[in-house]
Structure 1
Amino acid sequence: MNPEQNFQFTSYIEESNNRLWGQHFIVPAPVVQAISALGEDKRVVCTINGQVEYQCALISKGEGMYIIYVNKARMKQLKLKIGDQVQASLVKDDSEYGLPVPEEFLEVMEQDPEAKAFWEKLTPGKKRTMLYIIAHPKSSDLKIVRALAIAEHLKAFDGKINFRALNDTLRG
């Protein structure tokens, strides 16, 4: 990795006014500008306190301010609370989808060309959402079940995602 592309800075954990996301930290404007200069996509790999690494996006809060969300599990893992200082390191995420791709999903797509063709037409954001749904469980068996359900859903809905119907299928 090129050292010029590893952006390190100090920030502080803040409470988000978005009840869905919880906590975040501000990314300094010079870091945002440097990452933006590397390409339009604002997906990064973030490392907090040299301990936890995850793929995420720089989220615009308006007026040129960008943040990165830190979920409850990461807060707990790092023993962080509101107001704590964090050492952050960001690297441009050049991965295909901006999330790890579960083996189970790759296998299902390899065996189902029709579902794969629909998959390729989804927007990057929808692909990330589907990958997150598949990868979230720890059990490989459950990942396979979810990958198969998404493949069948894509075929049943002509490549469109009906989130309500998909949620019903996944719960069912």
Structure 2
Amino acid sequence: MKLKVPILKFESDLWSYYLAIPKAIGEQLIEGEDRRVICTIGDGKPIHSALMPKGDVYSIYVKKDFMKKHGLAEGDTVEATMEKDRSEYGMPIPESFQVLLDQDTEGSEYFHMLTKGKQRTLIHLVGKVKNVDSQLAKGLAIMHHLKEEGELDFKRLNVLIKEYNNRK
């Protein structure tokens, strides 16, 4: 579904900008508790996001670097394409991490016991680095951590990721 929506600025230091999606359109894309969508602004890369309630609209977060890269500013109206996100994790998973999940049964079991939000956080940690070797190091550290701890402890995981990165 295509629509024209404004880019607005949050009155918060935590988040910067968002698209204001009309409630009626957002509600067409929400299924039960699942609010995950894929939004494409103009000819940009698809944004995997959740529709977040904000007053009389839903919001989709737009990062500052996306705004800068596309020459957008607060108050601009953009054409956006919205669709339901039917992917397994609500975001793309790096191939390197998928291979680890496919090969490490025990690690995969622990990973899949986590909430969808924690799974996305770990996928994002791996995917935010572009170098495949660094992705693999992070992925291996995550799998090791989950198998050793049985749960997610971000402080310990960060220490382990540093150790794995230094093994190169």
RMSD: 1.5
Q: 1: CA distance between counterparts of 2:161 and 2:8?
A: 34
Cα shift at 1:162 = 0.6
Aligned match of 2:5: 11
Q: 2: CA distance between counterparts of 1:39 and 1:8?
A: 22
Structure 1 counterpart of 2:81, which letter?
S
Q: Is the 8 A contact 1:15 1:23 kept in 2?
A: yes
Structure 2 counterpart of 1:148, which letter?
L
Aligned match of 1:119: 111
Q: 1: CA distance between counterparts of 2:75 and 2:57?
A: 18
1:122-161, aligned counterparts within 5 Å? 122-158=114-150, 160-161=151-152
Q: TM-score, normalised by structure 1?
A: 0.88
Over 3 Å counting, the alpha-carbon distance change for 1:109 and 1:170 in structure 2 is same
Runs (4+) of structure 1 moved beyond 3 Å? none
The structure 2 residue matched to 1:169, chosen from 157, 160, 164, is 160
Structure 2 counterpart of 1:154, which letter?
L
Aligned match of 1:89: 81
Q: Is the 8 A contact 1:58 1:68 kept in 2?
A: yes
Q: Is the 8 A contact 1:25 1:69 kept in 2?
A: yes
Identity %: 35
Over 3 Å counting, the alpha-carbon distance change for 1:139 and 1:47 in structure 2 is same
Q: 1: CA distance between counterparts of 2:56 and 2:144?
A: 41
State whether structure 2 residue 24 is matched by structure 1 residue 33: no
Q: 1: CA distance between counterparts of 2:161 and 2:76?
A: 38
Q: Deviations over 1:5-49 (max 9, x none)?
A: xx222121111123222111210111012112x453110110102
